Each structure stands twice: as structure tokens, then as C-alpha cells.
Amino acid sequence: MVEIAGFAQPPYVAVKDAFAANFAEGLEIGARFSLVEAGEVVVDLWAGHADRKRTRPFDEATLTPIFSTTKAVAAVLVARLVDTGRLAYDQPVADVWPQFGQAGKEKVTVEQALSHQAGLSGFIDQMDPSAWFDWDLICSKLAAMAPMWPPGAASGYHPITFGYIAGEIFRRVDGRTMGTALREDLAGPLGLDLWIGLPDAEHARTAELQRPTGLPKFGQLNDPTRAAFLTPWSSPGGRSGSDWRRAEIPSANGHATALALARLMGALADGGWIDGEMILSPALIAELSRERIRGQDLVLPFTLSWGAGVMRNETVKIWGEGEQTFGHAGWGGSCVFADPERRLAGAYVMNKQSTDLIGDARARRLIEAAY
């Protein structure tokens, strides 16, 4: 029997039972789930082991790779630029990144890029997987690339390229990388154990992943899907695990605790406030989560509704029943969500990965128990 650490306040005791059931059924190695309601942490549970050999406990200091759940953090960072008037969602990307305005991308707006409409889901032409570790090279390739479909006509999920597009827009406006801004403006001052670009001193507390044995079900394959997921160079490779953790890839390699993610998303569910500090205005939270496009995604086998960098719950219902709820999922099962109607937010992280692209069954069980 795995010992469950942490707490679940009385209205949420069913969440602890659901969390324990995931372990009892052999679905987990190590995991953590946190909920924040009206700014208060009401659930924070963790259990299991941080390594595949099960010699190191998964504890409250364990950092977990969160893959595409990082995109929600990147979306918040861009939203903060919009909130202060330094950027507008409806302005062309080329206004701040002139080189991007090539090959039919002159009119692609910031919000189109953030909602996966730019037609740049990945690279069809062969390249070395280690090229992803060269920020300027990838950005120059994206700037020169012709869209794979007419921008604005559909969404097509950008699993890795999203981070370079959003990150370069941010850097061109702010002057800092997203990882630096996250550390200096949010994580450090607010005590959030949340990183894009993990310093060497933190590597030892990172959970070790158990990869899934199969591939996700992508449905009907096409060039955007192949470029996004199915080429040997569709994701970073050819470097050490330490290089991966150290890099700043705001679409894919965030490291965090569930508590830090839940607290960040808790602000978006509660008018923008964390510990007496407003990190986003209520108007901007509504604008961030407003629908930019809805329909069958060209890369993922789902009908999706996208905000400015976040998935909206309206079409997929993976985070309760709230139609205003938004968040993001990450490869293997992690997720975050914010429900402004109920002032509720949550995050799930784990190190035994599943093949679910979104809506991991373990997280759904926890969220359904919470609701």
C-alpha cells in the first residue's frame, strides 16, 4: 500500500481516495495533485517514487517535467505583455519580429500564432534533432518557412515550435527570455517552484520518467501531423538529459511542482491575484481565454477550441463541466486548468507517462472527484 502524503480539506476528501486508487491500480510510479480554491490551497497530495527503480521518494520537493503543460505558463507570460500595453494580440507578429513576415506570414497575428493557426507545426525538411538546442537557428528557420496551410484557416497543434514563436515574440518585446522573466517576475517573488530552463543545482530533484510503451493515436495522418510528431527530428534530441533540462523551450521543457502550477493557475481563476499581488487583470484573463478558433485540429485528432495559448474546455470537457474553464495538457499526462466560474484551479504531474494526448484518465479521475 502506497502512503499518500499531503492533505485534502474536508470538501475534497474524495480526491484523496481517487489519488490513492490511481496508485492501488498500478497506474502511477510517482505523482502529485494540487487544487487551489479562491486563492487557498485546498488539496495538495503526493506519493510514490521519483525514479523508475523506486529507490527515491516522490516528495514535496520533487520537480517533474511537464512537457506541453509549459505552454500555459508561456501564455501567461505573453498575456502580461498585453496587459501592460507592450503587445497586442491582434497585431502582426512581424511588427515585433520583422524577419517572421516572409513566405506568406506577413499578416499572421500574435493571437493566431498562439492559437496554433500559423501553419508551422514542425519541419518537413530533414535536420539534426540537436538543432532544437540552437534558439537562433530554429527561429530563423521558422521565420523563413512557408506555412503548411493558409494561416487562420484552421488550427494545427504546434507541439515544439509554439515555444520558439511565443518565446521569440516575448524576447523581441521584453528583451529577456521567457525563462528569465518567469524566474525574475513570478517564480522568484511569489515562491513558485516553476522553471523554464532548469539550473544545474536543481537537476538532482527532478523525477525520472517512465516512457509509454506505445505511440498516441493521431488519427488520419497528414503532413502537419508528421512534421509535428512523426519525423526523427520532430523533437529535440542528440544531447544529454542535462542539456535538455538546462535549455529554455517554453513549449515543452518546463519543470515544476503541481503546487506551483496550481497556484499560478489559481490566480487566473480568481481575478488575477496571488498572495495579494495581481499578476493579470481580470479583463486580460478573459481576453487570454477568449476563443480564437474552433474546429477539427489538423494535427491532433480532436475538435478543439483555442484561446491565446490555452485549450478551452468547451469542446473537450476534460476539466469538469465549466465552459469558461481553460488550461493545457502535457505529453504523458500532466495538466493544468483554471475555472473562473468556481474560482478553482488545479494541476497534476506524474512520472509514469501514458499515451493520452489530452485528458489522461488518472487526471480526469482526480478532477471529477474534485467537482
Tens digit of each residue's pLDDT (9 = 90 or more) over 288-304 = 999 999 999 999 999 99
Of residues 115, 187, 100, the one with CA closest to residue 146: 100
Contact between residue 336 and residue 262 where contact means Cβ atoms under 8 Å apart? yes
Question: pLDDT tier at 106 (50, 70, 90 boundaries)?
Answer: very high
Q: Kindly write down the DSSP assignment for every residue of 106-138, as one continuous string.
A: TT-BHHHHHTT-SS-SS--S---GGGGG-HHHH
Q: What is the pLDDT of residue 216?
A: 82
Q: Is the pLDDT of residue 38 over 90?
A: yes
Q: What is the pLDDT of residue 301?
A: 94
* Secondary structure of 282-347 in HEC code, one letter for each residue: HHHHHHHHCCCEEEECCCCCCEEEECCCCEECCCCCCCCCCCCCEEEECCCCCEEEEECCCCEEEE
Q: What share of the chain is helix, strand, coil (3-state, %, to 5)?
A: 35, 20, 45
Q: What is the pLDDT of residue 145?
A: 98
Between CA 299 and CA 63 the distance in angstroms is: 29
Between CA 329 and CA 338 the distance in angstroms is: 12
- The residues pairing with 293 across neighbouring beta strands, listed in sequence order, are 306
Between CA 122 and CA 33 the distance in angstroms is: 32
Contact between residue 341 and residue 331 where contact means Cβ atoms under 8 Å apart? no
Q: Taking residues 11-16, report their average pLDDT.
A: 97
Q: Kindly write down the DSSP assignment for every residue of 360-371, as one continuous string.
A: -HHHHHHHHHH-
Question: pLDDT tier at 321 (50, 70, 90 boundaries)?
Answer: confident
C-alpha angle 211-217-223 in degrees, rounded to nearest 5: 105
Q: What is the pLDDT of residue 214?
A: 81
**Cα pseudo-dihedral 307, 311, 315, 319, rounded to 10:** -130
Residue 59, Cβ neighbours under 10 Å: how many? 17
Q: Taking residues 99-128, report their average pLDDT.
A: 97
Q: Is the pLDDT of residue 176 over 90?
A: yes
Question: pLDDT tier at 70 (50, 70, 90 boundaries)?
Answer: very high
Between CA 205 and CA 360 the distance in angstroms is: 24
Q: Which residue's entry shows cell 498575456?
A: 79
Q: What is the pLDDT of residue 333?
A: 96
Of residues 234, 179, 215, 236, the one with CA closest to residue 301: 215
Between CA 309 and CA 296 the distance in angstroms is: 17
Q: Taking residues 35-61, report their average pLDDT.
A: 98
Q: What is the pLDDT of residue 215?
A: 79
Between CA 96 and CA 109 the distance in angstroms is: 11
**Lowest mean pLDDT across 13-17, 25-29, 237-241:** 237-241
Q: What is the pLDDT of residue 205?
A: 97
- The residues pairing with 46 across neighbouring beta strands, listed in sequence order, are 5, 32
- What is the chain's mean pLDDT, rounded? 97
Q: Taking residues 348-360, report their average pLDDT.
A: 94
CB neighbour list of residue 317: distance below 8 Å, 6 or more residues apart: none
Cell of 348: 497534476
Q: Is the pLDDT of residue 173 over 90?
A: yes
pLDDT tens for 255-285 read: 999 999 999 999 999 999 999 999 999 999 9
Alpha helices in 25-134 (DSSP H): 70-83, 93-96, 110-114
Between CA 142 and CA 266 the distance in angstroms is: 33
Q: Taking residues 198-206, report their average pLDDT.
A: 98
Q: Is the pLDDT of residue 313 over 90?
A: yes
Q: What is the pLDDT of residue 368?
A: 97
Q: Is the pLDDT of residue 138 over 90?
A: yes
Contact between residue 327 and residue 336 where contact means Cβ atoms under 8 Å apart? yes
**Torsion sign across C-alpha atoms 300, 306, 310, 312:** negative
Cell of 137: 537557428
Q: Taking residues 117-129, report their average pLDDT.
A: 97
Q: What is the pLDDT of residue 217?
A: 84
Residue type, 162: F
Q: Is the pLDDT of residue 218 over 90?
A: no
